[in-house]
Amino acid sequence: MQLFKLVALLPFIAPLALAASSKDCAYKTKEEVHAPHGWIKHSKPSPDHKVSLRIGLPQPNFGILEQHLYEVSDPDHERYGQHLSKEEVEELVAPHQESLDSVGEWLSAFGFKEEDVTRSPAKDWVSITVPVSLAEKMLDTTYHVWKHVGSGESLVRTTNYRLPSNLHEHVDVVQPTTSFGRFQPFKSTVVPFDEEPEPLVNSLVEAESFGSDVTVDPSCNSTITISCLQQLYNAVGYVASNNTKNSIGITGYLEQFANIQDLQTFYAEQRPDAVNSTFKFFSIDGGLNNQTLSEAGVEANLDVQFAFGLSHPIPAIFYSTGGRPPFNPDQTTPTNTNEPYQAWLDFVLTQKNPPLVVSTSYGEPEQTGKVTKFWADKSTEALFSVPESYARRVCASIAQLGARGVSVIFSSGDGGVGDGNPNPATQQCITNDGRNVTRFLPTFPASCPFATSVGGTEHIDPEVAVSRFFSGGGFSDYQQFLRPAYQQAATRKFLSTLPDGLYKDLYNPAGRGFPDVSAQGDRYRIWYQNRPILIGGTSASSPAFAGLVALLNDARFKAKKGPLGFLNPLLYSKGASTFNDVTGGRNPGCGTLGFNATEGWDPVTGLGTPNFGKLKDIVTSRFAL
């Protein structure tokens, strides 16, 4: 399909008369919310407190990009594997010139010049850093410091903002304004040792049968190692190459960085051929890389050791992204950069060659507020801690990566159907619409239809849904994250097994279901601060699955094919039969027993756990271009 040509952009110089007309145009409400459950208004920020406003301009041709994405990701389509270039994707998400001009005139009216503005490569995002007093004038609003009762975290936010009426069709979203999201790591829960753990024994003991063609060391019931994952998922004996076309990436946030000394100790114990190898490091917005052992990040160590250990010697990248809550709103110098995931997306989309598979073990509940049966009544208002307008744009960025051949992997979360708190008894799953009723809390960005979400399992022969915490899963509440075509049959089959009326009004049965797949999620043996520990969470499942995807990409390169890219259309079709179905366990939360793991896809373990050997045969077969 021939892509349209991008219209040459005009210089950012707006006549003062036009600027004045934009500024003087009557303001109308663009977005208005009630503060989500758990947030209280605390105080006024300093007028000089800096806010980095990100203005999302409409992407009028995103539907064409989405069509490309599904065509190049569908194994039954003639274009399968023919991913787009960076420039082709940017062309498809670029805003109309009229939107660029209108937003430019508005910014000029407040004294901004081109050098004050940062633009995304496609010009669909405009970023400016301003004191909160000026942001209030630009958006005709009032910011406050809001505090989260449970954590004590602070955000500078408003519950509404307004724009000149002539700008509404040219601006999708402005943030940070109404977003109360708490981007958090999923619980990398350390398993306490009663005594110092014994050294690993490298020689295998008698193995138990797992499926028809895989054997697994019984010790994997109590400790998960690289060898255990290779055995469980039929990857024993596969030797990857260090093809520079291939790559795997891990994202780190909230002061998380990976310690190289711990990584080398881990390699010496579990992957001796990887000793002295390392990874490429990128710091984004001041992301840390302090190699002091006492300051190493347990989440980052887990992700790097298993993702890179499984995929060695495939080129590896670690991204450390700065910016986080809580912050001190009384300080005037720091910028309120507590949406670090978008900062990572902004950075990686500028890269000519992003990593071909990326794992992220962070997320947040979609909503903590007013949500009713809006899937049946489009006019009913819903309240989200991550506004749908913003979530949709983040998800659109993930789609851009998928169209370029990147597999984007997310943990599904550890709170079952609840709020990310592994203890169902203390979860807060309450609406704030006056009814104070229970509502399941799906996880974003795991609920993005263009991402692959990974749940957690434990044990061998058989694997079951992890039980020490609970594999996140359910159905998206966002109106625009409806059930995608690739999972229609699988999701309908699952829903048909539920008793009539079960969890009525607690979830959206028309929404995108997640997770898509699962992998072992507990008792991973890692090295942390120069000692071995056991750790668990879907934050372990995601990098493990990503490591296997990197190996699949390696197999495709060896077969003279390209990377897999967006995985889900393949996984739910030709790939579905290659997964080990998980039929035991459930994901309780919000005062309920949650959903059951059942035959076929379910919102606890997805399609099940991967059989690498079978998947490799499929993705390197003649059908796969």
Whether 526 and 189 have beta carbons less than 8 Å apart is answered as no
Q: In angstroms, rounded to a whole number, what is the distance separating the alpha carbons of residues 449 and 513? A: 9
Locate 75 and state its tokens.
């194994």
Structural domain contains residue 200: no
What are the phi and psi torsion angles at 363 (to 5°)?
175, -170
C-alpha triplet 123, 124, 130: angle, nearest 5°: 85
Domain shared by 412 and 454, yes or no: yes
Domain shared by 219 and 161, yes or no: no
Marked catalytic residue, from 120, 539, 541, 542: 539
User: Looking at the predicted structure, is the pLDDT value of residue 188 above 80?
Assistant: no
Residue 269 a catalytic site member = no
Is 323 labelled a binding residue?
no
Structural domain contains residue 506: yes
Residue 303 a catalytic site member = yes
Is 38 labelled a binding residue?
no
Domain shared by 144 and 250, yes or no: no
Marked catalytic residue, from 91, 124, 217, 303: 303
Domain shared by 260 and 165, yes or no: no
Q: What is the CATH number of the domain that holds 213?
A: 3.40.50.200
Domain shared by 236 and 302, yes or no: yes
Range scoring the smallest mean pLDDT among 290-299, 349-358, 431-440, 528-537: 431-440
Domain shared by 47 and 142, yes or no: yes
- How confident is the model at residue 600, as a pLDDT? 97
Structural domain of 119:
16-59+94-180
Is 600 labelled a binding residue?
yes
What's the number of domains the chain is made of? 2
Domain shared by 556 and 407, yes or no: yes
570-to-70, 130, 174, 553 alpha-carbon distances in Å: 10, 45, 35, 14
Domain shared by 258 and 151, yes or no: no
- How confident is the model at residue 590, as a pLDDT? 87
Marked catalytic residue, from 299, 388, 477, 516: 299
User: Looking at the predicted structure, is the pLDDT value of residue 142 above 90?
Assistant: yes
- How confident is the model at residue 422, as a pLDDT? 55
Amino acid letter, 18:
L
Q: In angstroms, rounded to a whole number, what is the distance separating the alpha carbons of residues 460 and 232? A: 8
Domain shared by 256 and 133, yes or no: no
Looking at per-residue pLDDT, the higher value among 191 and 7 belongs to: 191
Is 582 labelled a binding residue?
yes
Structural domain contains residue 124: yes
Strand partners of residue 127? 54, 118
Q: Report the predicted TM-score, pTM, of the whole model to 2 decimal places.
A: 0.88
- How confident is the model at residue 379, as a pLDDT? 32
Locate 43 and state its tokens.
């105080």
Give the mean pLDDT of 100-112.
Answer: 95
Confidence band (pLDDT; 50, 70, 90) for 33? confident
217-to-193, 579, 583 alpha-carbon distances in Å: 21, 20, 21
Q: Pick the closest to residue 404 from 562, 516, 571, 618 (CA basis).
A: 562
Looking at per-residue pLDDT, the higher value among 264 and 337 belongs to: 264
231-256 pLDDT tens trace: 999 999 999 999 999 999 999 886 67
User: Looking at the predicted structure, is the pLDDT value of residue 287 above 90?
Assistant: no
Residue 133 a catalytic site member = no
CA 341 to chain centre: 8
Q: In angstroms, rounded to a whole number, what is the distance separating the alpha carbons of residues 512 and 323? A: 29
Q: Is 241 helix (H, G, I), strand (E, B) or coil?
A: coil
The residue among 160, 180, 200 that closes a domain is 180
* Summary mean pLDDT of the chain: 84
- How confident is the model at residue 385, as a pLDDT? 62
Pairing of strands 452-458, 517-520: parallel
Q: Pick the closest to residue 440 from 352, 508, 344, 537 (CA basis).
A: 508
Range scoring the smallest mean pLDDT among 45-54, 150-159, 352-361: 150-159
